[in-house]
Amino acid sequence: MLALAAAGVLSACGGGTQQIDPFVPTRIIALGDEASAITAAGKKYTINGLDATTGLLACAANPNWVQIVAGNFGLVFKECNPTNIATPTGIMYAAAGVKVADVRARLDAHFANGSFGPKDLVTVMAGTNDILELYAQYPAQSSDSLLAEARARGKLLAQQVNRIADANGRVVVAVVPDVGLTPFAVKEAAAKPGSLDRAKFLSSLTEELNLEMTINLKNDGRLIGLVKTNDDGSGGIQTMVKFASGFGFANVTSAACLDAVALTDCTTKTLVTGAAVDTWLWASDVQLSPAGHQRLGSLALVRARNNPF
């Protein structure tokens, strides 16, 4: 009887079910490497879009994954602000060449001047450059020692994500795309046959870094949302490569951009014969095309929207 009475009171007050307010961030902060970066000139490390009328760079076209997330919340980075919003709501810390240790250094600098808050959405994806650095040390370093170092870097990355969460920021962290599935890996496997499958080794380095990062995250479900970039059961990169045609891809093994052109200068006018923005997965040997970014951005948005931030 008491339980029924209490339920009636709750129902009368509108408290029969708990309502979680949608997360509406007021600022976005991007940490990571080329995959998340926008240069001061508004260029991205993918196939850049051009204005159909002027033929000039259109920084909002062919967005990378952090732009997709930002735009869905009405946020904008100063590096790409085509409507000249007076006060951009995005901070771009991501940059070319960044490794996990650089993410830590960037956070150190940020904390020296400020902190994070519950309306900050922080995107993090780093580790590709670490994997490439470790891979380049083989065979001078053993595969076992390199895999161990990959795990150490994954743990270090998790510690940085946890620092943001401890400061009350909201984090969407994406695992590193499988480097063993990149055009770089395809070339390495073909050029260096032997007892060690180079593509599989790159996949193993990726897996170890990602796994160690994942298991060391503070997993309370409230402050950190994990994006399973490679395969989350709904179509990550590994699934897209395996079932390419089912996802509309005509090529998942080659780079779309011409080798002679710097990636930030790659546009829809500087592609290899037959390449297309929407049907090729990779822009360069290790960086995603706009179609790849669309998929990653969609997965990140699901996490940002559905996590109880």
For residue 288, list its beta bridge partners. Answer: 282
**Regions of the chain short of the pLDDT cut 50:** 1-19
Residue 259 CB contacts under 8 Å (≥ 6 apart), including other chains:
none
The three-state secondary structure class of 280 is strand
For residue 44, list its beta bridge partners. Answer: 38
Q: Tens of pLDDT along 127-149? A: 999 999 999 999 999 999 999 99
Q: What is the dihedral of CA 226, 228, 232, 237, to 10 degrees?
A: 160
CATH architecture of the domain formed by 22-226+235-301: 3-Layer(aba) Sandwich (3.40)
Where in the chain are the domains? 22-226+235-301
CB-CB contact of 306 with 71 (8 Å): no
The alpha carbon of 201 is separated from its chain's Cα centroid by a whole number of angstroms, namely 22
Q: Tens of pLDDT along 88-141? A: 999 999 999 999 999 999 999 999 999 999 999 999 999 999 999 999 999 999
Burial zone of 254 (CB within 10 Å; 0-12 exposed, 13-18 middle, 19+ buried): middle
Residue listed under structure tokens 């080798």: 259
Q: What does the mean pLDDT of the chain come to?
A: 93
